[in-house]
Amino acid sequence: MLVYRYYSLQITQHDDFLTQSDRNRIRVEVIPPPRGQIVDRKGRVLAANKPTFVVGVILERSEDSEALIDTLAQRLSLTEPELEAFRERSSRRRPFEAVPLKLGLDDAALASVAVDLHQLPGVVVDAQLTRYYPYGHELGHVLGYVGRVSADDLLELDSERYQGTLHTGKVGLEKRYEPLLHGKPGFQHVETNAHGRVLRVLEKVAPVPGKNLRLYLDLDLQREAVAALGDQRGAVVVLDPLTGGVLAMVSNPSYDANLFVEGISYADYAELRGSLDTPLLNRAVQGQYPPGSTVKPLISLGALAQDFITPEIEIPDPGWYRLPGDDRRYRDWTLRVRGTGHAEMVDLRMAIAESCDTYYYDLAYRMGIDVMAELLQPYGLGQRTGIDTTGEQDGILPSTDWKRTALGEPWYPGETISAGIGQGYMLATPLQLAQAAMVLANKGESFVPSIVHRVDDLTVGGVQRPPIPMDEADWQAVVAGMVDVVHSPRGTAVGISRGIGYQIAGKTGTSQVVSIAQDAIYDEDTISERNRNHGLFVGFAPAENPNIVVAVIAENGGGSSAAYPIARRVIDSWLADESDV
């Protein structure tokens, strides 16, 4: 019997045992690093890692790889994109490296494989950490999201650092801070049997986790801003004027970032991309709107500094303005409401409080577009703020040079009149308006807006911008008008002053979406919803010692009355929270 068994092992079954012996080998496994977490200013987790199961295939250990993949495709209900991703990963794998086939298995899918794992040579089931966003819709645009590493990503990413990593940041903070959030992979030498199962770990080098981000953002305030916007398309940006930190940043409608982690379905993505409400657009930094009358305090400060006006100078206001030698009448918004102007004579304080267009038509004509652009540029209009996220847009600060370069046309005097009330070619993002309001709140001082406060223990926010010299008397004159916007009986935002226990310095704005003929009247009931005016509000509080700056855009809201109640609710929430600290 011994001789027969010896003969069988050495001669008859030699080839089978030789093959199995060759498969019983030591291999190196990569250990992907845990991704850094993202927390709010109070340490509440906004982007976490949760365990999930991944089915992979070691092609060298499968007897018939094509048949094996067909079997797994049926059991796991694999989609064609998942199979295509597997083929793409297989083309760039290392020998004896497990290639992920199905990510994020649920219990049923896991059981369908695990029960017959001994009959599926080459199949491995690993537990890995994947990204999870507890507040998906509420923070989708702020945090961004991670997605599966694609072939295009590999052209930019370090192949050594991303061994074994299945996800990378795609947009938002996840993309902007990808090099810090990712970490460094580790490895282990393992001994496996003929079926590829690990027998023991021979050596292990632990991965280096990614760095954690602590934000300026306050989760409670963010959720309050989301609730305040409700179903209204638009954006809310809230800044800390003492640091430039983003306390809240909302773009509505939003999306659930969790949809993108393991690969969004064609149907879900088509719905997001095809929606008229553009939920993938981060309106806070990518939406570009005519700022309307929110630029009037900025123009006023520039005009005061350059002696175009004084606080006491008054101009006549019949409810319209006419350029010298031109029959066209540029109407004040009060003309359709009251049939006349704001008053027989209007000074600076009244012009700001009641948003007198006629006053700024006259001022813009006397200043000229190039002087106006020169005075507005230091506030950050027409240029990116430098915030630490992706996709930020420049906006437009028009001038004669800009129009000649962009459109190849000369500048006309009537276009200066429109620019004087933040219309025409002028465009700004809600973040730019919030930054400009921060400059006002700080009497010329400001910071680069930042969502992230610290990376682990290293502070990265609070970078100062060049200050704007500002005369105290000029600042007081403009802020007095902005306080009247809310607290004067004829202020354009007096509707939010009821029951208020502090002072808000603010400015309303209404920007046209479609042009209205000279003698026509804007009738909201006859205009389609998406062609109605945008409503805007910028402000800071408390007026004398600001610790919050707010900018609101109510897209197609009809006017500023759709925006300033949102700002009041957000400011109330913040000041109440601060008083409890």
Comparing 543 with 106, the larger pLDDT belongs to: 543
What is d(CA 20, CA 272) in angstroms, rounded to the nearest whole number? 51
Residue 498 burial by CB count (10 A; 0-12/13-18/19+): exposed, middle or buried?
A: exposed
Q: Which two tokens stand for residue 553?
A: 């855009």
pLDDT of residue 203 exceeding 90, the answer is no
Judge contact between 440 and 300, C-beta under 8 A. no
Task: Give the pLDDT score at 10.
Answer: 80
* 208 vs 96: which has the higher pLDDT: 208
Q: Is 293 a catalytic residue?
A: yes
Q: What is residue 420's three-state secondary structure?
A: coil
CA–CA distance, 529 with 246 (Å, rounded to integer): 31
Phi and psi at residue 26, to the nearest 5°: -95, 135
DSSP state of 272: H
Q: How much is the average pLDDT of 437-458?
A: 96
Mean pLDDT, rounded, of the chain:
89
Q: Which of 509, 503, 488, 517 is nearest to 558 (CA)?
A: 509
Nearest Cα to 288, choosing from 130, 395, 431? 395
* pLDDT tens per residue, range 213-266: 999 999 999 999 999 999 999 999 999 999 999 999 999 999 999 999 988 888
147-172: average pLDDT: 85
Q: E-strand spans in 422-466?
A: 452-455, 458-459
393 vs 102: which has the higher pLDDT: 393
28-55 pLDDT per residue, tens? 778 889 999 999 999 999 999 988 888 8
Amino acid making up residue 38? I
Report CA Rg, the chain: 31
- Is the pLDDT reported for residue 60 higher than 90? no
Mean pLDDT for 285-296 is 97
* Contact yes or no for 32/166 (Cβ under 8 A): yes
Contact 353, 485 (CB under 8 A): yes
Identify which of 261, 265, 272, 273 has the alpha carbon closest to the alpha carbon of residue 77: 265
For residues 358 and 346, give the distance between their C-alpha atoms in angstroms, rounded to a whole number.
9
Report the percent of the chain where pLDDT is more than 90: 65
Examine the pLDDT at 580 and tell me if it is beyond 60.
no
How many angstroms separate the CA atoms of 317 and 111, rounded? Answer: 78
Residue 157 has pLDDT above 50, yes or no: yes
- Catalytic member of 65, 254, 265, 293: 293
User: What is the rounded CA–CA span in Å between residue 268 and residue 491?
Assistant: 45
Q: pLDDT digits over 16-28, tens only?
A: 766 655 555 676 7
Predicted TM-score of the model (pTM): 0.86
114, pLDDT greater than 80? no
Q: pLDDT digit string (tens) for 477-532?
A: 999 999 999 999 999 999 999 999 999 999 999 998 855 444 444 455 556 777 88
